[in-house]
Amino acid sequence: MDRQARVCVAGYKGLVGAAILRRLTSAGFTDIVKADRGEVDLTDQAATRRYFEHEKPAYVFLAAARVGGILANSTYPADFIRDNLLIQTNVIDAAHKTGVTKLLFLGSSCIYPKLAPQPLKEESLLTGALEETNEWYAIAKIAGIKMVQAYRRQYGFKGISLMPTNLFGPGDNFDLKTAHVLPALIRKFHEAKRDKSREVVVWGTGKPRREFMYVDDLADAALFLMERYDDEQFVNVGVGRDLTIAELAELVREVVGFDGAIQLDPSKPDGTPQKLLDLTRISALGFTPKTALREGIERTYRWYVERSG
């Protein structure tokens, strides 16, 4: 990719979009256009089309989405399915119609069937029922992947899709009602330490297994694939290791330095039992993530402390 080419990051204020922006800047890209709610309402078809006609980007990283943890997904199912379908349909179609050279769409590991064999291979998509707590979001993301594939088949549009595992890092959402587990635990342990509480409540049985990737590693993979991959099959991106929620809670407790107890609350939902991605495809392309989980949590915790004081 020519470092002078115009690159659009849709959703640049989000966890992933902001990391992609950092990565593009460090790679020497000089003409980056940013699209977020402040610039353009990507759920509005006409506004999205006007934005693309005006800005004329050559490359698009489509990281704009309505995202949230297990509670947000089950509380706002309509918002999750509608906003994601609208944003991705509008952006992919506007990109095609305004002559974008290449687009990268970001999916999510929750698109896989709940009981698909682990680690999850790309071929498992649409082979079984989804996890019901986030099927609204998953259905929208599956539609996005299929749309990118259909535009490639019918119009020769160069769209690729990347399927990230659970991500975390600076810029994450720390609102306990909508956050994913890792930022939620950072906040809970931090506040428990500050308030000298005796315990921290962790939702569910602690048994589900999750894989976590530091978001700057994901941004590396996004640029890597944009530059070197051009095929219909989407690509999993993860770290290749998972741990239980109980183990994660212990790790966050250590990083934050809270010496009280961990109390599990099994009345809260566990969600899918395991979500580990198979990385054969991306590994064969030559990509490996750099950041160890503890180091990623330490950096994220430092960012959280600096910001929240």
**Interface ranges with ligand GDP (CB under 6 A):** 69-70, 110, 134, 166, 179-181, 184, 202-204, 208, 210, 245, 268-272
59, 137, 151, 301: which is the annotated catalytic residue?
137
Nearer Cβ to ligand GDP, position 148 or 245?
245
Q: Are 28 and 20 in contact (CB under 8 A)?
A: no
304 tagged catalytic = no
- Provide the terminal-to-terminal Cα distance of the chain, rounded to the nearest Å: 40
Closer by beta carbon to ligand GDP, 69 or else 144:
69
Q: Are 150 and 92 in contact (CB under 8 A)?
A: no
**Integer Cα distance of 183 and 197 in angstroms:** 19
Work out the burial of residue 54: count CB atoms within 10 Å of its CB; fewer than 13 is exposed, 13-18 middle, 19 or more buried: exposed
Residue identified by tokens 């309505």 is: 66
Which residue's CB is nearer to ligand GDP, number 25 or number 75? 75
For the CB of residue 197, give the shortest distance to ligand GDP in the complex, in Å: 14
Q: Strand pairing of 261-265 and 274-275?
A: unpaired
- The phi and psi torsions of 140 (rounded to 5 degrees) equal -65, -45
Q: Which two tokens stand for residue 37?
A: 């709610």
Give min distance, CB of 232 to ligand GDP, in A. Answer: 27
Cα 275 → chain centroid: 14
Tokens 């297994």 — which residue? 209
CB 71, min distance to ligand GDP, A: 6
Given the complex with ligand GDP, which of 8 and 110 has the nearer CB atom?
Answer: 110
Contact 1, 23 (CB under 8 A): no
Task: Give the separation between CA 22 and CA 69, rounded to whole angstroms.
Answer: 24
Q: Measured between alpha carbons, how far is 144 from 202 in angstroms, rounded to an integer?
A: 33
Closer residue to ligand GDP (CB): 110 or 148: 110
What is the smallest separation between the CB atom of 100 and ligand GDP, expressed in angstroms? 31
CB of 40 to ligand GDP, least distance (A): 28
Residues labelled catalytic: 137
